[in-house]
Amino acid sequence: MVGRPRTPTPIKRLKGTLQPCRTNHAEPVPTAPLDRIPDAVVAFPRALSWWEIVRADGPPGMLKSIDAAMLEGFCLSVGYAEESAIELQKSGLFLTDDKGRPYENPAVGTLKKMLDSATRAAAHLGLTPASRSRIHSLGTPEPQQEDESVERWKNVLPMVRQKKLPPPGGEPQPTARRTRKKPAPGTTLDTSDE
C-alpha cells in the first residue's frame, strides 16, 4: 500500500511544522550549494531558462547540489512540454495517415507525459503553488494580527481559572449523578427508565 510521500525536513522547517519528536536527527544534511548546471540543461535553451527561473525564484537556500538531478528532470520536462505545445500549435491535435484516417498527434502524449513529470518534480522541489503556500519564507515574518476579542480574553481567562470571575454563560451547573441501584437478593435490576 502506497501512502503520501514524506515531506522533506527543509520543507517542514520552512512551513513551521517541524516537530523534534518526529525528526530524524541522523538525517544527512547536504551542504554543497547548487552551482553547477548539468550539461543536458546547458545544451537545451528552454531547460536552461527554467533552471535560471528556479534558481532565482525558488525557495531560498533549500535546493542543494544533491537536488540537481531532480531539478534537471523538472527543467527538461518543462522544456520538452513547451516544444510539444509548439508542435501541436503548428500541426494540430490530429494528423491523417496515408489513407486519410485521422489519428492523434504523438505530441499530445509527449506533452501529457512531460507535464506529469514536471508537476511531480515541482511538487517534490517545493515549486508548485500548493507546496509554496505551505512554506513560510525565512526572510518574511508572518504578520502578528490579533483581533480585539483575543486581546480581551487574554485578560479574562486567567481570572476565570483563578475563580475570580464566573465562566462565560454564568455559574457552572452541578451535574446530576446517576447512582446504580443494588438489587435485592433473588431479584434482577430493572434498567428501564421511570
Asked whether residue 179 is domain-assigned, the answer is: no
Q: Count of domains in the chain?
A: 1
Residue with cell 446504580: 180
28-61: burial string, b at 16+ Cβ within 10 Å, e else: eeeeeebeebbeebeebebbbebbeebeeebbee
Which structural domain range is residue 50 located in?
32-133
Q: Report pLDDT digits (tens) over 125-162.
A: 888 877 766 665 555 545 555 555 555 555 655 655 56
Asked whether residue 61 is domain-assigned, the answer is: yes
- The mean per-residue pLDDT over the stretch 59-66 comes to 80
| pTM of the predicted structure, to 2 decimals | 0.59
Rounded to whole angstroms, the Cα distance separating 54 from 125 reads 10
Asked whether residue 126 is domain-assigned, the answer is: yes
Burial class (CB in 10 A: 0-12, 13-18, 19+), 159: exposed
Asked whether residue 44 is domain-assigned, the answer is: yes
